[in-house]
């Protein structure tokens, strides 16, 4: 399905983007596990660098998949140590990308299954919906909560996000539901990116 993947470039302005191709944009708060999620979805160990320092990623990182589309990893939001200037710049960067980058086919919003949606998560989700973007909510770190408590947690997260159409809880460690999300992303690309013939 996703046979090849490689890092292309990092940028802060959508106008510096590489050759136009369909994009899957990944958003989430700092330390939610975006890099680990990318590696799991693309079946790579170290394609996206993980870090123990929250908020380290400050650019849009482009990964070319199957020579046909991009995974775009956005900086984590909500990291307290960032200055107000940095946080404002992040908001402007993401807003410009969502409004002006023509090839965004879906946005994956990552939330922490154990912590639950934060205020920043909810605000980001509502903002994406206001732009009429298709949002796929993925709750990471499902394995951090006992299986007996997981059904209740699922209901709580869905309720906080007004029961999103696309919602999946995953574990990058146990790979729970990784294949399900991979299939969903693949179907989304096929359905909307008719200009790409080999996704």
Arithmetic mean of pLDDT, 149-177: 93
Nearest to 54 by CA among 74, 72, 81, 73: 81
pLDDT range class, residue 83, cuts 50, 70, 90 = low
CA-to-CA dists, residue 149 to 113, 114, 115, 155, angstroms: 11, 10, 13, 11
CATH number of 5-192: 2.40.160.60, 3.40.605.10, 3.40.50.300, 3.10.150.10? 3.40.50.300
Res 118: pLDDT: 93
Kind plus residue range of the DSSP H or E element containing 59 = none
Q: Which residues contact 167 (CB under 8 A, 6 or more apart)?
A: 136, 137, 138, 139, 157, 158, 161
Res 85: pLDDT: 66
Each domain of the chain, given as residue ranges in start order, spans 5-192
Arithmetic mean of pLDDT, 76-96: 71
**Is residue 61 predicted with pLDDT exceeding 50?**
yes
Arithmetic mean of pLDDT, 50-78: 78
Arithmetic mean of pLDDT, 78-101: 74
Strands 135-140 and 60-65: unpaired
Q: Mean pLDDT, the chain, as a whole number? A: 85
Percent of the chain with pLDDT over 70: 86
């Amino acid at each position: 399905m996703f046979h090849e993947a490689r890092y292309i470039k990092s940028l802060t302005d959508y106008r510096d983007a590489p050759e136009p191709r369909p994009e899957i944009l990944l958003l989430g708060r700092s330390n939610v596990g975006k890099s680990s999620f990318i590696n799991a979805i693309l079946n790579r160990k170290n394609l996206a660098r993980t870090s123990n320092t929250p908020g380290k990623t400050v650019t849009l990182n482009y990964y070319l998949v199957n020579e046909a589309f991009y995974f775009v990893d956005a900086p984590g939001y909500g990291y307290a140590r960032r200055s107000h200037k940095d946080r404002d710049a992040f908001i402007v960067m993401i807003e410009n990308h969502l409004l002006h980058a023509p090839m965004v086919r879906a946005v994956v919003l990552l939330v922490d299954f154990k912590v639950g949606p934060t205020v920043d998560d909810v605000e980001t989700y509502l903002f994406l919906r206001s732009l009429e973007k298709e949002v796929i909510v993925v709750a990471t770190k499902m394995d951090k909560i006992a299986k007996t408590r997981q059904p209740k947690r699922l209901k709580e997260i869905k309720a906080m996000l007004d029961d999103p159409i696309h919602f999946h809880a995953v574990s990058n460690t146990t790979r729970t539901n990784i294949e399900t999300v991979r299939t969903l992303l693949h179907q989304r690309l096929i359905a909307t990116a008719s200009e790409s013939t080999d996704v």
